[in-house]
A and B are shown apart, each in its own frame.
Chain A
Amino acid sequence: MPGGARTFLLLAPALVVIGVLFLGGLGVAVLRSVGYMPLIGLTDPSLDAYAALLSNRDFYRSLALSLHISITSTLIASVIAVGAALLLRRGFAGRGIVSFLFQLNLTVPHLVGAIGILYLFSQSGSFARLGYQVGLIDQPGQFPALVYDPFAVGIILQYVWKEVPFIGLVVLAQMQGIGADYEAAARSLGARPWQAFRHVLLPLILPGLLASSAIVFAFTFGAYEIPALLGQSHPQALPVLAYRLFTDVDLAARPQAMAASILIAAISGVMVWAYVALTRRRVGG
Chain B
Amino acid sequence: MTDVTLKDLTLRYPGAEAAAVADLSLRIASGQITALLGPSGGGKTTILKLIAGLLRPDAGDIAFDGQSVLPLAPEARGAVMVFQSQLLFPTMSVADNVGFGLRMRGRPKPEIDRRVTEMLDLVQLPGFGPRRPAELSGGQQSRVALARALVTEPRVLLLDEPLAGLDAHLREEMRDLIAALQRSTGVTTLVVTHDQEDAAALGQAVALMLDGKIVQHGPPEALYGEPATAAVARFFGNPNAVPGRAAGGVFHSPLGPLDLPRDWPDGPGLLTIRPEAITLGQGGGNTVEMEVATTAYLGTHTRLTLHRDGVTLIAHLPPDAARGVEKGGRVTVGLPSRALWLLPDGPA
Whether A and B touch (Cβ < 8 Å) is answered with yes
Contact yes or no, A189 B101, CB < 8 A: yes
Residue from A190, A195, A285 within 8 A of B96 (CB atoms): A285
* Chain A, 230-285, CB within 8 A of any chain B CB: 284-285
Known: A91-B14, A185-B87. A191 touches B54 (CB 8 A): no
B-side contacts of A285, CB under 8 Å: 89-92, 96
Contact yes or no, B53 A187, CB < 8 A: yes
Contact yes or no, B92 A187, CB < 8 A: no
Min CB distance B231 to A, Å, is: 31
Residue from B83, B91, B96, B105 within 8 A of A204 (CB atoms): B91
Interface SS, B side: mixed
Contact yes or no, A191 B89, CB < 8 A: no
Contact yes or no, A187 B75, CB < 8 A: yes
Residue from B85, B90, B100 within 8 A of A189 (CB atoms): B100
Is B149 in contact with chain A by the CB < 8 A criterion?
A: yes
Is B80 in contact with chain A by the CB < 8 A criterion?
A: yes
A-side contacts of B148, CB under 8 Å: 189
Contact yes or no, B87 A182, CB < 8 A: yes
Contact yes or no, A188 B52, CB < 8 A: yes
Is B116 in contact with chain A by the CB < 8 A criterion?
A: no
Bound-state CA distance A199–B80 (Å) is 18
By a beta-carbon cutoff of 8 Å, the part of chain A in contact with chain B is: 91, 181-182, 184-193, 195, 199-200, 203-204, 206, 284-285
B-side contacts of A91, CB under 8 Å: 14
Bound-state CA distance A206–B92 (Å) is 13
Which residue in chain B gives the minimum CB-CB distance to A91?
A: B14
**A184-B74, A188-B80 given. 17 additional CB < 8 A pairs?**
A184-B49, A187-B52, A187-B74, A188-B158, A189-B100, A189-B101, A189-B148, A189-B152, A191-B101, A193-B73, A195-B104, A199-B103, A199-B104, A203-B92, A204-B90, A285-B89, A285-B92
Which residue in chain A gives the minimum CB-CB distance to B55?
A: A184
Contact yes or no, A186 B100, CB < 8 A: yes
Contact yes or no, B101 A190, CB < 8 A: yes
Which residue among A184, A190, A204, A284 has the maximum number of chain B CB atoms within 10 Å of its CB? A190
Bound-state CA distance A195–B96 (Å) is 14
Contact yes or no, A189 B91, CB < 8 A: no
Contact yes or no, A181 B90, CB < 8 A: no
Contact yes or no, A187 B54, CB < 8 A: yes
Bound-state CA distance A182–B87 (Å) is 6
Which residue in chain B gives the minimum CB-CB distance to A184?
A: B54
Number of chain B interface residues as a range:
20 to 34
Contact yes or no, A190 B104, CB < 8 A: yes
Min CB distance A40 to B, Å, is: 54
Min CB distance B77 to A, Å, is: 8
A-side contacts of B85, CB under 8 Å: 181
Which residue in chain A gives the minimum CB-CB distance to B78?
A: A190
Min CB distance A139 to B, Å, is: 51
Which residue in chain A gives the minimum CB-CB distance to B74?
A: A187
Bound-state CA distance A91–B74 (Å) is 20
Min CB distance B297 to A, Å, is: 44
Known: A181-B87, A189-B149, A192-B75. A199 touches B100 (CB 8 A): yes
Bound-state CA distance A192–B81 (Å) is 15
Contact yes or no, A191 B75, CB < 8 A: yes
Which residue in chain B gives the minimum CB-CB distance to A206?
A: B91
B-side contacts of A284, CB under 8 Å: 91
Residues 205-216 of chain B: 1 if any A CB is under 8 Å from the residue's CB, otherwise 0? 000000000000
A-side contacts of B91, CB under 8 Å: 200, 203-204, 206, 284-285
Which residue in chain B gives the minimum CB-CB distance to A200?
A: B89
Bound-state CA distance A32–B293 (Å) is 94
Bound-state CA distance A203–B92 (Å) is 9
Is B79 in contact with chain A by the CB < 8 A criterion?
A: yes
B-side contacts of A193, CB under 8 Å: 73
12 contacts across the A-B interface (CB closer than 8 A): A185-B81, A187-B75, A188-B158, A189-B100, A189-B104, A189-B149, A190-B80, A190-B101, A192-B104, A195-B104, A199-B100, A206-B91
